[in-house]
């Protein structure tokens, strides 16, 4: 669950695109390449007005020398922090039922949490509570595979110092959403799992979604993996710990049914949805902005162990997309951008996985944080596995493909970056505009 919530972007700057018939051939070539080069194992889905536009599954749900299981659209993935959208939806339902108020203070339910008397439910939903994020601590990563009771989790939370004063800023907090899950239980006098079933799953007929337990391939669950010469099985977080922040297991099909229902008024009122999609800093309520060119979308990302997920919805086009992976060596954001590009008739770039790799000494010349006086943007250049990666502040990470000495590009977003290492500067060009950045 160490993946941060990030807005999905196709460009750093606005650009126009028009919707036409989807380019399935390019998407098939992309997913074939990802599978052949062991860059991703995933299940993806794109829907328009709830109808399937594109669906594909690659890789394996289970890798075993005796009996491997291929991934399918029905494979169950741990969806990580997309769980927060479900939790936020149930909180808004309770607000509509007048069993809870966004202005209610945390001390009404969990008074032992530091600053509880100053923290409102809305601050927690918008990551503005200052409640310390447990996944920022090494202690969590040493024990996340062990079961924990609510009392044990609360004992940790009550000892954690706040990261900032309530409502002073925004910072992602898994802890805040775990506590929101506990509040749902306290207000309804029912377990989170039962609330999830009654309030969302049964109402929408979502038969492939559940509050997760131990992974069981016999139920259709996938294990998660990381790639190092071969796919290697990852540890298995005990979902009693992430709970309402990251414990749901589902499929792309079920999650897109959920998100379509959320935006069509089947789960909360339009007034509640308006509050959920109101962005303060970079967070809504259980949602974050997911722009694609000039189109406005909302969604969430997730990550737990080797699982990575993205789900997004574009209200103006009734378009929804999801990418669920149980093993990724290629950015999920780039996969989603490719799917959206195919739908909106933007060129789909098939990456060259045989492109030049850099030695550590060569990469060191480029690595660092660059900023520009022309635009309020910082860009971090990092190196992993002899490849360069490009990350604007608050945005996803993109692979930089080698063009020639000191010049790299990101085809999916039309960016070229030309380094001048001796001057500790670089020029970033996009859509015909050039911006000087210094390290």
In which band, very low, low, confident or very high, does the pLDDT at 37 lie, cut at 50, 70 and 90? confident
Domain count, the chain: 2
Q: How far apart are CA 409 and CA 406, in angstroms?
A: 10
pLDDT reported for residue 435: 92
Is residue 431 pLDDT above 80, yes or no? no
- Expressed in percent and rounded to 5, the helix, strand and coil fractions of the chain are 30, 25, 40
Indicate whether 276 and 411 sit together in one domain. Answer: no
φ, ψ for residue 352, nearest 5 deg: -95, 100
In which band, very low, low, confident or very high, does the pLDDT at 20 lie, cut at 50, 70 and 90? very low
pLDDT tens-digit series, residues 348-358: 878 777 665 67
Q: How far apart are CA 338 and CA 348, in angstroms?
A: 5
pLDDT tens-digit series, residues 71-126: 999 999 999 999 999 999 999 999 999 999 999 999 999 999 999 999 999 999 99
Indicate whether 121 and 266 sit together in one domain. Answer: yes
Q: How far apart are CA 307 and CA 225, in angstroms?
A: 8
Which letter, b or e, does each residue of 62-79 get, where b requires 16 or more Cβ atoms within 10 Å of its Cβ? bbeeeeebebebebbbbb
Is residue 200 pLDDT above 60, yes or no? yes
Indicate whether 309 and 184 sit together in one domain. Answer: yes
Is residue 386 pLDDT above 60, yes or no? yes
Indicate whether 235 and 364 sit together in one domain. Answer: no
pLDDT tens-digit series, residues 264-300: 999 999 999 999 999 998 899 999 999 998 899 999 9
Is residue 88 a contact partner of residue 102, using CB atoms and an 8 Å limit?
Answer: no
Indicate whether 379 and 275 sit together in one domain. Answer: no
Domain boundary among 303, 322, 354: 354
Indicate whether 149 and 2 sit together in one domain. Answer: yes
**Rounded-to-10 torsion of CA 136, 141, 142, 145:** 140
Is residue 228 pLDDT above 90, yes or no? no
Indicate whether 342 and 242 sit together in one domain. Answer: yes
Indicate whether 432 and 383 sit together in one domain. Answer: yes
Indicate whether 40 and 12 sit together in one domain. Answer: yes
CATH code, 48: 3.40.710.10
Indicate whether 100 and 36 sit together in one domain. Answer: yes
Name the percent of the chain lying above pLDDT 90: 75
pLDDT reported for residue 15: 38
pLDDT tens-digit series, residues 54-81: 999 999 999 987 889 999 999 999 999 9
Q: How far apart are CA 176 and CA 97, in angstroms?
A: 22
Which whole number is the average pLDDT over 421-427?
Answer: 94
φ, ψ for residue 193, nearest 5 deg: -60, -40
Query: Which structural domain range is residue 125 located in?
Result: 1-354
With H, G, I as helix, E, B as strand and everything else as coil, classify residue 21: coil
Domain boundary among 354, 377, 401: 354
Is residue 35 a contact partner of residue 329, using CB atoms and an 8 Å limit?
Answer: no
Domain boundary among 291, 321, 354: 354
pLDDT tens-digit series, residues 310-352: 999 999 999 999 999 999 988 898 899 999 999 999 888 787 7
Tokens of 79: 């969806």
Is residue 420 a contact partner of residue 408, using CB atoms and an 8 Å limit?
Answer: no
Which whole number is the average pLDDT over 22-48?
Answer: 93
Is residue 19 a contact partner of residue 344, using CB atoms and an 8 Å limit?
Answer: yes
CATH code, 404: 2.40.128
Indicate whether 252 and 366 sit together in one domain. Answer: no
Is residue 102 a contact partner of residue 125, using CB atoms and an 8 Å limit?
Answer: yes
Which whole number is the average pLDDT over 229-256?
Answer: 96
Indicate whether 426 and 326 sit together in one domain. Answer: no
pLDDT tens-digit series, residues 407-423: 888 766 678 899 999 99
């Amino acid at each position: 669950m160490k993946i941060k919530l990030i807005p999905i972007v196709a460009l750093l700057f606005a650009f126009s695109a028009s919707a036409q018939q989807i380019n399935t051939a390019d998407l098939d070539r992309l997913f074939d390449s990802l599978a052949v080069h062991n860059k991703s194992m995933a299940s993806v889905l794109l829907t328009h007005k709830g109808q399937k536009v594109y669906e594909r599954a690659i890789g394996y749900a289970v890798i075993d020398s005796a009996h491997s299981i291929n991934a399918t659209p029905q494979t169950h993935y741990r969806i990580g922090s997309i769980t927060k959208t479900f939790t936020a939806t149930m909180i808004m339902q309770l607000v509509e039922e007048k069993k809870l108020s966004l202005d209610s203070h945390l001390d009404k339910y969990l008074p032992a949490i530091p600053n509880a008397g100053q923290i409102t439910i809305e601050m927690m939903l918008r990551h503005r509570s200052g409640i310390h994020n447990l996944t920022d601590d090494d202690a969590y990563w040493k024990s996340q595979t062990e079961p924990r009771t609510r009392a044990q989790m609360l004992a940790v939370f009550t000892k954690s110092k706040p990261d900032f004063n309530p409502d002073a800023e925004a910072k992602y907090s898994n802890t805040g959403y775990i506590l929101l899950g506990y509040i749902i239980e306290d207000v309804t006098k029912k377990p989170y799992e039962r609330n999830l079933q009654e309030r969302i799953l049964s109402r929408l007929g979502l038969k492939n979604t559940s509050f997760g337990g131990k992974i069981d391939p016999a139920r259709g669950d996938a294990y998660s993996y990381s790639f190092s010469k071969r796919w290697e099985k990852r540890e298995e977080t005990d979902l009693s710990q992430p709970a309402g922040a990251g414990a749901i297991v589902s499929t792309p099909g079920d999650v897109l049914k959920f998100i379509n229902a959320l935006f069509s008024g089947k789960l909360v009122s339009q007034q509640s949805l308006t509050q959920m999609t109101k962005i303060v800093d970079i967070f809504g309520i259980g949602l974050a902005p997911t722009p694609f060119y000039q189109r406005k979308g909302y969604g969430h990302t997730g990550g737990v162990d080797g699982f990575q997920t993205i789900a997004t919805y574009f209200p103006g086009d009734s378009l929804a997309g999801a990418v669920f992976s149980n093993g990724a060596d290629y950015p999920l954001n780039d996969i989603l951008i490719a799917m959206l590009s195919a739908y909106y008739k933007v060129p789909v770039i098939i990456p060259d996985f045989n492109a030049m790799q850099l030695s550590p000494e060569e990469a060191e010349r480029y690595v660092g944080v660059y900023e520009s006086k022309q635009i309020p943007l910082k860009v971090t250049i990092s190196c992993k596995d002899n490849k360069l990666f490009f990350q604007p502040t608050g945005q996803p990470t993109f692979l930089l493909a080698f063009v020639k000495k000191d010049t790299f590009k990101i085809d999916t977003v039309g960016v070229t970056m030309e380094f001048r290492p001796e001057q500790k500067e670089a020029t970033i060009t996009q859509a015909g505009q050039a911006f000087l950045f210094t390290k």
